[in-house]
A and B are shown apart, each in its own frame.
Chain A
Amino acid sequence: MSRSKNLGIKYLAAAVFFFGVMTLAGLLSATYYIHPDFLFGYLHFSVAKMLHIDTMIIWLLMGFMGAVYWFLPDEFGREPAGIQAAEILFWVFVVAVLVVAAIFVFVQWGPGTEATLWLFQQGRKYVEAPRWAAIGIAAVMVVFAWNVVGTALKAHRITGLMAVMSVNMVPLVLLYLIALPKIDNMAVDLYWWWWLVHLWVEATWEILIGCIMALTMMKLLGTSRRIVEGWLYIEVGMVLGTGILGLGHHYFWIGTPDYWLGIGGFFSALEPLPLLGMVVHAVYDAGVHRMTSSNRPAFYWTLAEAFGNFLGGGVFGFMITLPQLNLFAHGTQWTVSHGHFAFWGAYACGVVSVCYLALQEQRQLASVDGRGWIWAFVLLNGGLVGMVGSLLIAGMAQAFFERAIGGSTLDAFIASQENPWFVLGMYSRFGFGLMFAGGYVTLVWNLLALGRPQAAAVLKPVPAE
């Protein structure tokens, strides 16, 4: 097997590992809402929360990289340029993430000096990693971008798909640099920080996963390149056409002028459209293939991706995106509900799908099916939707009692957090979190066991030719 594909498998394995760390840190974060004294004085909510959201970014990013390294040799018919550097940086990346996690857990905070930002953490949501690690991640991204762009240059050919991916690498790298400076003015700080968070997650990442899902469709369903590329261009046009100015929905309340209320509200209200298009496409494809495939788990996770992205990103996002409602829903568990559903649907399901696809090829399985993946699929998606529903109830209660009725003061905050609907939501979120964690364990077990002899009854290896 090619070096690039080997590296892809390694990245996917690392992604699944950090997926587990994220799940564990999520359960821990949820515990504090039920038992506020849990580990008090040793490990606080903030640390669990940082681990939870930062490992989420990391595992999804590693999943994307794994998928790209997996598909690259197929697209170009050769090893990627700079594969050696990529192989070394994989280990640097993994070790750096583990070191940062250890710093978060054991050092936690430092004095209010620049040295703390360089060595321990930067205290900016999603990009808490200290500067040394942020520079390291930027270096990994630069090499990753070169692996794609450089290979196209060396191969003297490029597909439309790879052209989109190559161009997308530029903002992917440049926007990440916003993780570095310390900006005193919170309004300006948040302004640029949203360029990183929104334009990464709701623009460059959407394009990247769009390319990955296009490659998956071609491999999994044999969809023609022409159709896939046509769709990809439509998707790019719609995602960026609505998403770039949809950025405005983060500029309602950070001190920015009020024209953002109209611009952000209008364009982000249109953001679900490309996601709806993908659902239509997925349903059509599923119909064409009569819901069957030689790799059913990959196929079902692709469908979960389309529906999850539309429901979680599109519908749940639309629900709180108009400023007239966002004034009340902003910064509550309602946002958390949308966030969980959107990241899961837009990215996580796609990465899981690629895992199954890559393992099928690596282990040379004629077909992948069985019971194990169904359990993982049901537990993970059921747990996730349960958590999202619980957070929605808690978030609505918070929006009404803290924001609308209480006026968002300390006392209003406490009143909302003690509201029975909120408390119910927190308990139920924890329960569904356990279900989700069970799904994760089943998924890992299923991925490891795929094609192993003990499962031979349901998995048929390719007959020798």
Chain B
Amino acid sequence: MPAQAAMWSPFAAKREAPMQYDDPAFWRAGAISTTAVMSVVLVMLTIDSIAAISPGGSHVPPYTVINRHIGYAYDGKLGRDMPVLGGDEPLFGKSINDAEAAALIGQGKLVIQSRACMDCHTFMGNGAYYAPDLTKAWLDPAWDAWIAITGAPTKEEAMARFLMAPDQYATWQRKMPNLGISREEAVATVAYLKWLSAIDTNGFPIHFGRIKVSQ
């Protein structure tokens, strides 16, 4: 096919001609300097970010935030949803100090890792997408119904009862398996989820819990 031959010929001609290229030293220097500059910037931003996301930093509340009421509302000035911290609302009716809160959160994280929660659920959108995102799970309006379903007096108690025997409650076609979570572990997990909901996540997930979805 002459048309095709004509289309390819410029390449073929170029292959035969000896090619002159600049010494790659120029590109090598470019690669090294770009990488170095970007790495330095990343380190500087990391120092600032880690300070902001440490407990008590500008974006992450101290662990004792679980002693308080937590809400989530649209902030007109910032143009995004923000956690709103309210008055006292001790978890399981008991206000705890810094050390106790840190120990509880540490235990909660161990439960989350040992049961691989992240391999079905997501946290801040990171995980496995098979089950709901847990970033603001503490604030989910669905728990109101679960207080009745589990016969629990409070939201935290309903969450704990569900976590300990999820397979006994008909949630939906996708059921959560029983992961042998003890009472103590369930309490720590609920504490973890409450603390997590108070983190400023730049408005993710957008308008959580403000819209009624009918099933």
Interface: A294 (CB within 8 A): no
The answer to the question of A305 belonging to the interface, with a C-beta cut-off of 8 Å to chain B, is no
A88 part of interface (Cβ distance < 8 Å)? no
Flag whether B188 is at the interface (Cβ < 8 A): yes
B111 to chain A, nearest CB (A): 4
Interface residues of A: mostly helix, strand, loop or mixed?
helix
Given the complex of chains A and B, what is the CA–CA distance between A264 and B85 in angstroms?
29
The answer to whether B130 touches A49, judged by C-beta atoms less than 8 angstroms apart, is yes
Interface size class of A (residues with CB under 8 A): 35 or more
Contact of A360 with B by CB under 8 A: no
Residue in chain A with minimal CB distance to B49: A256
Residue pair A261, B42 in contact (C-beta under 8 Å): no
Q: What per-residue 1/0 map shows which CB atoms of A235-246 lie under 8 Å from chain B? A: 011101100110
Nearest B residue to A284, CB-CB = B11
Residues of B within 8 A of A (CB): 8, 11-12, 14-15, 19, 21-22, 24, 27-28, 30-31, 34-35, 38-39, 41-42, 45-46, 48-50, 52-55, 58-60, 102, 105-107, 109-120, 122-133, 135-137, 140-142, 167, 172-175, 177, 179-180, 182, 185, 188, 196, 199-211, 213-215
What chain A residues lie within 8 Å of B209 (beta carbons)? Answer: 407, 409
Residues on B with beta carbons closer than 8 Å to the beta carbon of A245? 38, 41-42
Task: Decide: A111 and B116 in contact? CB cutoff 8 A.
Answer: no
When the two chains form their complex, are residues A109 and B179 in contact, meaning their CB atoms are under 8 A apart?
A: yes
Q: Which of A111, A122, A253, A414 contacts B125 (CB 8 A)?
A: A253
Cβ of B116: which chain A residues have Cβ within 8 Å of it? 46, 50, 109, 121, 123, 128
In the complex, which of the residues A40, A113, A120, A331 contacts B126, with contact meaning CB atoms closer than 8 Å?
A331
Give CA–CA (A417, B209) in the complex, Å.
18
Which of B53, B125, B174 is A331 in contact with, Cβ under 8 Å?
B125
Within 8 A of B (CB), among A139-184: 160, 182-184
B5 to chain A minimum Cβ distance, whole angstroms, is 10
Q: Which of A182, A189, A230, A335 contacts B21 (CB 8 A)?
A: A230
Of the candidates B115, B124, B128, the one whose C-beta lies within 8 Å of that of A125 is B128
In the complex, are the beta carbons of A255 and B199 less than 8 A apart? yes
Roughly how many angstroms separate A158 CA and B21 CA in the complex, as a whole number? 21
- The reply to whether B196 and A413 contact each other, CB–CB distance below 8 Å, is no
Are A229 and B24 in touch, CB under 8 angstroms? Answer: yes
CB-CB under 8 A from B113, the residues of chain A are: 112, 116-117, 122-124, 182
Is A188 within 8 A of B54, CB to CB?
yes
Binds B, one of A75-83, A89-97, A311-319, A398-406: A398-406
